[in-house]
Amino acid sequence: MKASLGTLIAAVIAALAAMPVWAQNQAPAPIACVSNGAAVTVAAAGDRTVDTANVQSAIDACTTVGGQLGRPVYVQLLPGNFIIKPITMKSWVYLLMPAGVVLNASTVTTDYQIAGSGTCGGIASSSSGCKPLISAGIGSDKAANNTGIIGSRAVGIMGGTIEGHGWDITSNGSSWWAIADLADAQGKKQICPRLIEFDKGTNILLRDITIQNSPYFHVVFSQCAQVTALHLTIQSPTPDHPSTARNTDGIDPISSTFISITNNHIVSGDDNIAITAATKGPSHDISIQNNHFGAGHGLSIGSGTANGVYNVFVKYAFFNGTDNGVRLKSDSSGGGEVQQLYYDTLCMKGINTASKSSKNGSINLDTQYSSSTGTSFPYFHDIHFHDVYSDTASATTGGKARDLVRLNGAGGTLPINNVSLYNVDFTLPTTATVATNIDAASIFLYSNSQNLAIPGVTPTPAPDVDPYFNEAANPNIAQFCQQYNN
């Protein structure tokens, strides 16, 4: 297994090194787009028709400039409040949004309507029907290489803000979030727009952006490669608009590869991060480092995993008030192989096990996430935890016990196996809930773990160095987490 981790890290490093320097966290930055002898800038008009046309025209003009230069150029938005309908990113073009730039999403539902699809702003059995606010490669618009949206690169200055207005009254008389509440009450799905979606793109960079109050998912990468999401602040709802924001995932890599998600703060009304691989291909070689998660359903893989998820490396993940910590969820209607997952230095504070939203817990491996059935069976194996601390106790809500640690292989034909827990520390004694189809002989609960018992598993003497990470234990993991998880 040490070779597998080494292979993972080497592959991610190699992929990032192969990216053009503008797509890495390095200089040189994209250069200003110069068209007709002048740098292309866009001022805010505060009118959704004018602002959309001006921003889109600038992007359209600069894609030619960047293509001719063979490197990306940027369109600079001037400080002010823009109101935009959906816009389409193009190759070689970045949006530069210095402090003071706010992109406000239109609240006119028909602005997002996809012809021939469900009614945007309505509810149905499918969520399809709305275009994203900012997209590339959606529908007939072919995604091209080297597209991106970028915030300010100036050190110490926050990038622009994308305000989704999920709380605001739309043209149909209710807010996007009220639509979601109604859909939930009827057991259906909301038809609301995502804020940012890239499809089949490569060399994508999102950084230094505040993305808030999304009507639906915040950021989606579908079938993308070589993606960096850096220094993003994602939040729905924001404190000034308290409400229920359902299904507002933070960052969702879907069938995507060589992804770096680093130094972000994510508060959402659903998964803070959700990695899936349902029907469009596998997701693999994903690095998630130094991220802080507030309210939301935690760091998830699934539920769709049919094409496989592998080579995921998580380090320095801070959970504060999330419904879950690490959650692997799938079922036989769309399950697949999930393997080679490495979680190093996880700090969990106040995991909300009293929430009714899901089977909550600090560590949740569940191959029977829902009652849906089929023949695409999940298979979870080679999953490793190193230096984990949680201050949370299990809870009972509505007469139902919530699990702090859950291992459920009942949804698969092959048992959950080769899971290791090295220096996993719970504040209070915790007994894992273990369902059927677990290979207890290959569940390694190392003896330096504290306050955790797994039925049927005898603790394994802990070596000085974790064999899956080639690292010694942090003897002060609780103190480290209490200091830095704020």
Q: Mean of the pLDDT values across residues 114-131?
A: 95
pLDDT at 157: 55
pLDDT at 143: 59
Q: What is the rounded CA–CA span in Å between residue 228 and residue 356?
A: 33
pLDDT at 17: 45
pLDDT at 121: 97
pLDDT averaged over every residue in the chain: 89
Task: Tell me: pLDDT of 8 over 90.
Answer: no
Q: Does the active-site annotation cover 165?
A: no
pLDDT at 351: 87
pTM: 0.93
One fold for 1-270 and 289-486:
yes
Q: Mean of the pLDDT values across residues 142-168?
A: 75
Judge whether 282 and 256 are in contact, CB under 8 Å.
no
Domain edges within the chain: 1-270, 289-486
Q: Which two tokens stand for residue 85?
A: 């309908």
pLDDT at 151: 75
pLDDT at 263: 97
pLDDT at 23: 42
Closest CA to 97 of 221, 20, 205: 205
Q: Does the active-site annotation cover 270?
A: yes
pLDDT at 210: 96
* Percent of the chain residues topping a pLDDT of 90: 76
Span of 12-26, 169-183, 349-363, 418-432 with lowest mean pLDDT: 12-26
* Percent of the chain residues topping a pLDDT of 70: 87
Task: Tell me: pLDDT of 2 over 50.
Answer: no
Closest CA to 98 of 77, 114, 70, 83: 77
Residue 139 CB neighbours (<10 A):
12
Q: Which of 284, 297, 384, 386 is catalytic?
A: 297
Which residues, other chains included, contact 272 with Cβ-Cβ below 8 Å and sequence gap of 6+?
Answer: 249, 250, 251, 266, 291, 293, 294, 296, 297, 298, 299, 300, 322
Q: What is the rounded CA–CA span in Å between residue 448 and residue 425?
A: 8
Q: Mean of the pLDDT values across residues 365-392?
A: 95
For residue range 278-309, list pLDDT tens digits in order: 889 999 999 999 999 999 999 999 999 999 99
Topology given in CATH for the domain delimited by 1-270: Pectate Lyase C-like (2.160.20)
Q: What's the start-to-end Cα distance of the chain, in Å?
A: 33
Judge whether 104 and 85 are in contact, CB under 8 Å.
no
SS3 sequence of the chain:
CHHHHHHHHHHHHHHHHHCCHHHCCCCCCCEECEECCEECEECCCCCHHHHHHHHHHHHHHHHHHHHHHCCCEEEEECCEEEEECCEECCCCEEEEECCCEEEEECCCHHHHECCCCCCCCCEECCCCCECCCEEECCCCCCCCCCCCCEECCCCCCCCCEEECCCCCECCCCCEHHHHHHHHHHCCCEECCCCCEEEECCEEEEEECCEEECCCCCCEEEECCEEEEEECCEEECCCCCCCCCCCCCCCEEEECCEEEEEECCEEECCCCCEEEECCCCCCEEEEEEEEEEECCCCCEEECCCCCCCEEEEEEEEEEEECCCEEEEEECCCCCCCEEEEEEEEEEEEECCCCCCCCCCCEEEEEECCCCCCCCCCCCEEEEEEEEEEEECCCCCEECCEECCCEEEECCCCCCCEEEEEEEEEEEEEEEECEECCCECHHHEEEECCCEEEECCCCCCECCCCCECCCCECCCCCHHHHHHHHCC
Q: What is the rounded CA–CA span in Å between residue 166 and residue 153?
A: 28
Q: Mean of the pLDDT values across residues 172-192?
A: 96
Q: Mean of the pLDDT values across residues 270-279?
A: 95
Task: Tell me: pLDDT of 178 over 80.
Answer: yes
pLDDT at 137: 78
Residue 273 β-bridge partners: 251, 299
CATH 2.160.20.10 fits 289-486, yes or no: yes
Banded model confidence at residue 361, pLDDT cuts 50, 70, 90? confident
Assess whether the previous peptide bond of 282 is cis (omega < 30° from 0): no
Task: Tell me: pLDDT of 217 over 90.
Answer: yes
Q: What is the rounded CA–CA span in Å between residue 56 and residue 392?
A: 48
Q: Mean of the pLDDT values across residues 100-118?
A: 96
pLDDT at 251: 98
Q: Mean of the pLDDT values across residues 141-150?
A: 67
Judge whether 207 and 145 are in contact, CB under 8 Å.
no
Q: Which two tokens stand for residue 155?
A: 């050190």
Closest CA to 100 of 157, 47, 53, 153: 157
Q: What is the rounded CA–CA span in Å between residue 225 and residue 221?
A: 9
pLDDT at 278: 86
Task: Tell me: pLDDT of 435 over 70.
Answer: yes
Q: Which of 270, 271, 331, 366 is catalytic?
A: 270
Q: Mean of the pLDDT values across residues 237-241?
A: 95
